[in-house]
């Protein structure tokens, strides 16, 4: 009733090819962004620090992998390592040049990750599917090996770990132990919104169409004049850029310090699951996937003991953990059966139903 197409006329090509052609969609998006910013002032530190910041970081990493796997159809298991490259690059840059604002270095560190990603993307021209996954797995192990073995990367720290020094923006600490969750959240949110907007423009434009053409049939795409090498490498570079920035945010704005083990193969799988559950080839799906995989267990961990205690069932922390695994696993299977194309597809169906509600024809 409130959400409908009727009466909105497109009078030029620009409005016809808009990403959000419906006025309601644009208002909705504005409201969501507004709510996200408002949350910084309404949410408590647990919500911001332990739920929202990681959710945004993982969403960003999912967008990165989605560009590669969802849009270009190249399966990668090196996400964790590419995130690591971003984090280590950011650490080196900001300790070597402390006078430059760290926000600059967060964005620049993505380029290092992009370069490494493009390098490991080279085999993608010759191999496809599972074989490519194995090639990126090599990147994962090789880079992780570098993180352990090259002490230069951590400035010869005895602990062998990355740690977030104090860094400020406009005189307010945004990094290091003194930065409040509120400030960190605002920084992460702004970066994620900015990069999501950029990604949205990329995937809906010429470059995105090239990626999709390669994904759908690379031979046909080549015949149409799309150069596979450049296109695939660009996908690897852009994807790794996003993962790299996400990695830098993960270590310095969320953990505040981390060992190499954070960027292990499990991290790669974690992001891959988010992309698959959320929906391949969808930006909003990346957010849905991150929410389901990351936030759901936290919510369960809070709700389950509260829901069980009135019945006199006291459950230990380990039982909760097992229940989390069971329920999240079951939910993943449930969603994949109900909608194999991921949560993004469910969202789309819901919107279409809403368009014709309450008079479906």
Partner 1 sequence: MSFRKLSLKLVAASLLAGTALPAFAQDSIYVPLFTYRTGPFAGSGTFIADGMHDYLEMLNQRDGGIGGVKLVIEECETGYDTKKGVECYEAVKGKNPVMVNPWSTGITLPLIPRASVDKIPILSMAYGLSASARGDIFPWVFNPPATYWDGMSMIIKYIGEKEGGLDKLKGKKIGFIHLDAAFGKEPIPLLQEMAKEIGFEVALYPVAAQDMQNQSSQWLSARRDRPDYMIMWGWGTMNGAAVKEAVRSGYPMDKFYSVWWPSEDDARSGGAGAKGFKTLNWHAVGANFPAIQDIQKHVVDKGLSKAGKDKVGEVLYNRGVYNSLLIAEAIATAQKLTGKKAVTGEDVRRGMENIKLDPARLKELGLEGFTDQLVLSCANHNGHRPAFMQEWDGTKWVKISNPIEPLTDRVKAQLDAAAKDYAEKNAGWPKRTEACDKAS
Q: Exposed e or buried b for every residue in 167-198, given b needs 16+ CB within 10 A? A: beeeeeebbbeebebbbbbbbbbebbeebbee
Minimum separation from the CB atom of position 45 to partner 1 (A): 7
Q: Using the minimum distance from each CB to partner 1, give the nearer residue, 24 or 321.
A: 321
Work out whether 59 is an interface residue with partner 1 (CB under 8 A): no
Q: Exposed e or buried b for every residue in 99-108, given b needs 16+ CB within 10 A? A: eeebeebbbb
| Alpha helix segments (H runs only) across the chain | 13-16, 23-42, 45-46, 53-65, 79-96, 102-121, 129-149, 181-204, 206-216, 218-223, 228-249, 265-278, 283-290, 296-308, 317-338, 343-356
Cα gap 315→327, rounded to integer Å: 15
Site string for partner 1, 280-309 (x = CB under 8 A): ------------------x----x--xx-x
Among 28, 123, 228, 257, binds partner 1 (CB under 8 A): 257
Q: Using the minimum distance from each CB to partner 1, give the nearer residue, 167 or 232.
A: 167
Other beta carbons within 10 angstroms of residue 243's beta carbon come to: 37
Work out whether 262 is an interface residue with partner 1 (CB under 8 A): yes
| Residue 320 exposed, middle or buried by CB count within 10 Å (0-12, 13-18, 19+) | middle
| Sites for partner 1 among residues 138-197 (CB under 8 A) | 145, 148, 155-161, 163-166, 176-178
Among 254, 287, 288, 347, binds partner 1 (CB under 8 A): 254
Work out whether 329 is an interface residue with partner 1 (CB under 8 A): no
Minimum separation from the CB atom of position 318 to partner 1 (A): 4
Minimum separation from the CB atom of position 42 to partner 1 (A): 16
Other beta carbons within 10 angstroms of residue 350's beta carbon come to: 10
Q: Given the rule CB under 8 A, which of 1-9, 212-220, 260-268, 351-359 is the region that contacts partner 1?
A: 260-268
Interface positions with partner 1 (CB under 8 A): 44-46, 49-50, 54, 95, 98, 145, 148, 155-161, 163-166, 176-178, 254-262, 264-265, 298, 303, 306-307, 309-310, 316-318, 320-322, 325
């Amino acid at each position: 009733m409130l959400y409908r197409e009727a009466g909105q006329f497109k009078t030029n090509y620009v409005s016809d090819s808009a990403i959000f052609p419906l006025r309601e969609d644009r208002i909705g998006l504005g409201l969501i962004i507004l709510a996200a910013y408002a949350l910084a002032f309404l949410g408590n530190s647990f919500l911001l620090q332990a739920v929202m910041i990681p959710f945004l970081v993982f969403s960003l990493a999912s967008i990165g992998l989605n560009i590669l796997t969802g849009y270009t159809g190249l399966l990668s298991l090196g996400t964790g390592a590419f995130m690591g490259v971003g984090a280590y690059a950011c650490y080196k840059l900001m300790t070597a040049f402390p006078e430059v604002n760290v926000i600059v270095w967060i964005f620049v560190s993505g380029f290092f990750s992009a370069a490494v990603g493009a390098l490991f993307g080279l085999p993608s021209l010759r191999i496809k599917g599972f074989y490519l996954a194995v090639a990126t797995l090599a990147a994962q192990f090789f880079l992780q090996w570098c993180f352990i073995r090259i002490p230069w990367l951590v400035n010869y720290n005895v602990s062998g770990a990355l740690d977030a020094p104090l860094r400020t923006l406009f005189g307010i600490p945004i990094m290091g132990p003194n930065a409040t969750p509120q400030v960190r959240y605002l920084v992460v949110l702004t970066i994620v919104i900015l990069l999501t907007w950029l990604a949205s423009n990329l995937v809906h434009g010429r470059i995105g169409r090239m990626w999709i053409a390669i994904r759908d049939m690379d031979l046909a795409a080549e015949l149409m004049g799309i150069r596979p090498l450049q296109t695939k490498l660009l996908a690897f570079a852009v994807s790794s850029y996003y993962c790299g920035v996400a990695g830098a945010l993960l270590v310095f704005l969320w953990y505040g310090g981390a060992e190499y083990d954070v960027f292990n193969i499990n991290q790669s799988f974690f992001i891959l699951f988010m992309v698959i559950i959320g929906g391949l080839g969808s930006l909003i799906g990346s957010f849905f996937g991150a929410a389901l995989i990351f936030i759901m267990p936290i919510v369960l961990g809070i709700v389950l003991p509260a829901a069980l205690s009135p019945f006199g069932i006291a459950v230990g922390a380990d039982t909760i953990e097992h229940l989390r695994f069971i329920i999240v696993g079951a939910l993943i299977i449930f969603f994949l059966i109900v909608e194999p194309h991921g949560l993004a597809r469910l969202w789309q169906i819901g919107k279409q139903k809403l368009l014709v509600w309450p008079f479906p024809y």
